Amino acid sequence: NRIFSIEKDLSEALNKNEMYLVFQPKISADNEEMVGLEALIRWKHLEKGFI
């Protein structure tokens, strides 16, 4: 089952520290100034790409 496979792979990725942190700026639509940052956790699966 596809969902079980991804859950299993995710568990393994967490154990192997395969996640990484990226910061994404938040830009105001009114004046195009940066108003903050979002911290996002990323994981690049070897077979499925970014999840």
Domain boundaries, the chain: 2-50
pLDDT of residue 24 exceeding 90, the answer is yes
Find the mean pLDDT for residues 2-25.
92
Residue with tokens 């940066």: 34
Q: How confident is the model at residue 5 (pLDDT cuts 50, 70, 90)?
A: confident
Q: What 8-state DSSP symbol labels residue 43?
A: -
Find the mean pLDDT for residues 34-41.
97
The pLDDT of residue 14 is 94
Dihedral pair phi/psi, residue 19, rounded to 5°? -85, 155
SS3 assignment, position 51: coil
Q: pTM of the predicted model, to two decimals?
A: 0.64
